[in-house]
Every structure is written in C-alpha cells, then in structure tokens.
Structure 1
Amino acid sequence: MKPHPPPDSAGAPVSVVIPCYRCADTIADSVASAAAQTRLPAQVILVDDASGDGTLDALHTVAATYPPGWVVVVAAPVNGGPSRARNLGWEHATQPYIAFLDADDTWAPRKMELQMDALEADPGLVLIAHRMAVRERGAGPVPLRPPVRVTAIGRRRFLLNNPFPTASVVLRRDLPFRFNERFRRVEDFLLWAEIGFSGYRCAKLNQVLAYWHKPTYGAGGLTADLDAMHRAGREVRHELLRRGLVTPAEHWFARSVGIVRRTRRRLLLAMRSRQTGVAS
C-alpha cells in the first residue's frame, strides 16, 4: 500500500497508537491504511520499543512522507513490550479517542468513519471494536455486509473469550485504565475486561474493518504457543478475581470455558498435524 498525504478534510478526533518493534518492513503499510481512512484520524503515534535495529530510522522516514505533525515518533528508552509501548503512546495522545493498530496489521478505509458514527450516535459508549480477518497483504478490503449493526458487549461475553482484537479498538482517552505492563501476553484482554467489568459500556460492529497479514496467534500449530496463551489467560482470570472485578462463580465459569477451548484447540492441532503428515 503506497503512502499518501492525508486529505485536508474534517477528520476524526482520534489518536492512533502503533507500538513498533523491528517493523521496518511493514510499518509503511500500516500508517498508509490510517491515512486512507474516509474519516481521517487527527494524529498517528509510532512508538519504537527500543528495537535496536533500523526501525527508528524507518519510522522517521515514514513520518516525513506525511504533513508535519500528523505522524509523531516516540522512542522508548528500553524495551518494555507492547503494553508499555501502548501506554507511552497513550501519554502522547492529544485527541479525545485513541485507536490501536499493530505495526503489521492494516485497516479497511471506512473503519474510522463507521466507529465514529457509532460513538457519536451513542455518547455513553466508551469503547467500540469490530471484527477482523486474516488477509493477504495488498488484497484489498473486504466488502461491507449491510446492514451495519452495533451490538452491546455485556459482562457475560467477557467470560467466554476476548471479544475485541487489539487493532479493532477505539476507546476514550480519559478512561482511568492502562495496559498492565506486567503482562506480555493477553494484556489487551485484561484491559478490555477491566473496562467492561467496571461497568463501562462497550460495543462491537458486525463488520470486518481490519486485517491480520499473518496467521492469528497459535494458528502456526505450535503447542508451546497455545500453552503460553492459555497460561496468560489463566493469569488474567486470577487478576480479575483478585481485584474483585469478577465473582468466584464467574471465575470458575470462565476457567471451565478456557479448559474446553484449550482441549478443542489441542484436538485441532493434532488433526492438522496428522493431515500434514499424510499429505507429505
């Protein structure tokens, strides 16, 4: 996707936060997808998480292709992981809303327009997300599937799994929460759950408006990755229980769902491995 200067038009009051770690090959596409929005975000913040290679130079090169000040480059002094990088970007945000985008993901052109329409129609919403899909880089956006619907995400939904992919989320900057920097896995789910379980209203659009350009977490077939993900999920559930955001009954329900999901994924991995062996 070729970068181009943002148009001079009424935009969205949104700061886009993108944590960057050794992402020189993909960051231009990510920023270009923000610049291609039908309703342009007011600010893009690129946070270099002490990559130690040529990433920081690449970020400044990308920033220079846009009007001065639209892309802000922030350099973290030490590597702290995605939670710390996102929090650092949050500190530099100037707009009422923050959107998150990862340095190897991209957005569909109408993402910001549709999310801001929903937020402006319902000022009580503090967070809105949408669906995502794995898509080959450069393949073009998935067509919308009307009607566009906004669905409230209630307490029970957070007990099942993470309903909000990180690159789909737009939230209010003034929320009294941040990413927990002790967590390097499932840190996004912990934040969304803290917001939802604290009584704030969240919602989700029924459209695919952002894309992963590599297999989703665990899809590579590595059992160790799945085990690490499930351990992190267990830690998140304990953290929510410790802070009194879920009841013991909700905790055990969520734990039971997690065990079922882990068993199912192990079976799918075993089947995939067996099929691969037969094919070879």
Structure 2
Amino acid sequence: MPKVSVIIPAYNAMAYLPETLTSVLQQTFTNFEILIINDGSTDNIVQWSNQLLDQRVQLISQNKQGVSVARNTGITYATGEYIAFLDADDLWKSTKLEKQVNYLEAHPEIGFLHTGMVLIDQYGKSSGRVMISNAEGNVLKQLLEQNTVVTSSVIVRASCLKTVGEFDRKLRYSQDWHMWVRIAARYPFAVIKEPLVCYRQHPNNATRNWQMLEQGFEMIETIFQSVPKELTYLKNRSYGYANIYLAWKALQSGDRQQAIYFRNQAITHYPQLRYSTRCLRLNVAITVMQWLGFEGFNNVLSLIYALRRRITSIIPQ
C-alpha cells in the first residue's frame, strides 16, 4: 500500500498540470499514489493521461461538481496513510514529501503538517517572495483570524479526515480554510519552515479576482457559526484581515479606489490594523499607484521582484 495519496483536482488545467505532475514524480520519496480528479474538464486530459506510463498515476473522471467534491472523491479513493493535497497549477520541490513523511513518522501526535511557499508567475519564474506560516501547535484561534496555510503544502493523516469528515461541498469559496479550522479544533498542527511549494499566480487564478473573493465573506459567517462563543470576538479580526487581503487583490487588478475601500473596511472591523506593517505597506502601494498609475505600479513591483530574486540567489541555502 502507498504511504501517501496525492490528490490533484483538475478542471481544464492542462496548461500547467503536466509540469505539476512532473514535480510529484520527481520526489525523492517515492512510495505514493497520485489521484488526478478530472472534474468535468473539456480539454484533452483523458487522452494525455492515457499516455502516462507511471502506474502510480490514476485519473478519476466525474461530472463538474467543484473543487470540494473533487477533493472528496480523491479522499474516497485514497489508500495512503497520509493524504497530500496539490492544486493542478502549483509545484513541489523535490524533497517535500520526504521531509513531511519523516516529520510525521517522528511526531505521531501531529495530525496536520504544512510548509512554506515561494510565489511564481504563470511561466514558473519566481517572484522572490517567500511566505512562511507560523501556524503550529494549537492554531484554532490563529486560523479563525486568517488562513495562512496554502493547500498545496498540506499533508494530513487519513485518520484525521475520517474524524472531521469531508470538505463541505455546499461552500463555493475557501473550502480549504473551513476544513483547516475543523481539523485545528481537534489536532495540533506543525509546519516545516522551508519554501517546499511553488504557488503559481496567473491570470486565471481564482485568488487574483477580488470580486470573486469578496463573495467569500460568507465563509467567515459559516466558520463562526460552529466555534465556541468565547471565540466570537475574533470575527471582526477575521473580517479585518480579509479586507486587507482584498485590498491587495484590488490593487493588482488596477482598482485603487476599491483598494482604499477595502483598507478602510479592514480598519473599521479591526482598528489595530491601522498601524500594522501590512497596512502601512498597503498605504505605500496605494500611494505609488496614485502617483505612477497602474503601469508604473507594476513596474515598481517588477523591480521589487527582481531585487528579491537577486537577494535570494546570493544568500546561501
């Protein structure tokens, strides 16, 4: 039996899926199965999968039902002791599974393990921005404020998923956040503070669409319906962080006025954010766009990314 089941939901994902699959097949840890869940794609995923020679890869096709159902389908078919999630446009560093499996084997009390990530663009080029979450231990309060766990970094014990149940198929957005909160209510988390995942940002990425993400506010209400009353004070913080996030997404789409609106909403919900580092950085970005326009703002970002890549290249790993 495979030690790890890797679940990859895919909907018209052939622009990136072959590279994503290659990043799994090149893992230094090899005792795994890969379950690609074809969620009603209209591309050539079936023909492509028929040409794959690695017996560890299985394509499971279903009518389009959304990412939650696709992940649930993968969990149903999974036979591994551990289940790892991977989005069809992200990449893994070659040692990701080895380091995660070794950690879980050495720490049987840990139910959920994730890693840091580096942001890449649609062509696979690094932005130089590395994000390391500090969500470890009892993280329920922390996750109620904001989700700092990227799905493609997660590996979880299959026994934990049997306890908490499947992804909520009724939710349209942030289904992963909802699941992480449910797991955090029962199990301790751990994090490997290395960027073992490459998170791809591209024009079709749902997390770049602030109009779509704004509808995810319903998720905050859903999450807080099931938490102890003594934790409901965290709801305003959650709305605050969510609005800061949306402000950045609005800026990335060139809508400075909408970014200002979201920033003000964030401060209204959680006034302490006004003098936080993330709000100060946002204010600087809004000012840059006001002075230089959208094109100038993007040029400044490109310069920052180039400097980050330069710094990363000269720092010993």
CA distance in 1, matches of 2:207, 2:220: 23
* Contact 2:145–2:238 (8 Å) recurs in 1: yes
Paired residues in the alignment total 251
Per-residue deviation, 1:228: 2.4
Match of 1:247 in 2: 228
Distance 1:41 1:99, change over 3 A: farther
Alignment match of 2:57 (pick from 71, 76, 80): 71
Distance 1:94 1:184, change over 3 A: same
Alignment match of 2:201 (pick from 214, 221, 225): 214
Q: How does 1:226-237 map to 2 (within 5 A)?
A: 226-229=213-216, 231=217, 235-237=218-220
Match of 1:192 in 2: 180
The residue type equivalent to 2:44 in the other structure is: G
The residue type equivalent to 1:40 in the other structure is: T
Task: Tell whether 2:38 aligns with 1:21.
Answer: no
SS at 2:60 equivalent: strand
Match of 1:46 in 2: 36
Match of 1:8 in 2: none
CA distance in 2, matches of 1:150, 1:114: 18
The residue type equivalent to 2:59 in the other structure is: V
Task: Tell whether 2:74 aligns with 1:84.
Answer: no
Alignment match of 1:101 (pick from 81, 86, 95): 86
Distance 1:41 1:83, change over 3 A: farther
CA distance in 2, matches of 1:21, 1:50: 6
Higher helix share: 2
* Contact 1:153–1:203 (8 Å) recurs in 2: no
Distance 1:22 1:218, change over 3 A: closer
Per-residue deviation, 1:259: 2.6
Q: CA RMSD in A?
A: 2.9
Match of 1:154 in 2: 139
Distance 1:25 1:187, change over 3 A: same
Match of 1:34 in 2: 24
Distance 1:250 1:31, change over 3 A: same
Structure 1 residue ranges without an equivalent (≥5)? 1-10
Match of 2:293 in 1: 276
Q: How does 1:168-187 map to 2 (within 5 A)?
A: 168-174=153-159, 175=161, 176=163, 177-187=165-175
Post-superposition CA distance 1:1-27 (Å, at most 9, x none)? xxxxxxxxxx97101000010012211
CA distance in 1, matches of 2:96, 2:116: 10
Per-residue deviation, 1:260: 4.8
CA distance in 2, matches of 1:91, 1:110: 26
Per-residue deviation, 1:34: 0.6
The residue type equivalent to 2:293 in the other structure is: T
Greater relative CO, 1 or 2 (CA 8 Å, sep 6+): 1
Post-superposition CA distance 1:101-122 (Å, at most 9, x none)? 1111110011111111110111
CA distance in 2, matches of 1:12, 1:113: 13
Per-residue deviation, 1:128: 0.3
SS at 1:94 equivalent: coil
The residue type equivalent to 1:262 in the other structure is: N
The residue type equivalent to 2:100 in the other structure is: Q
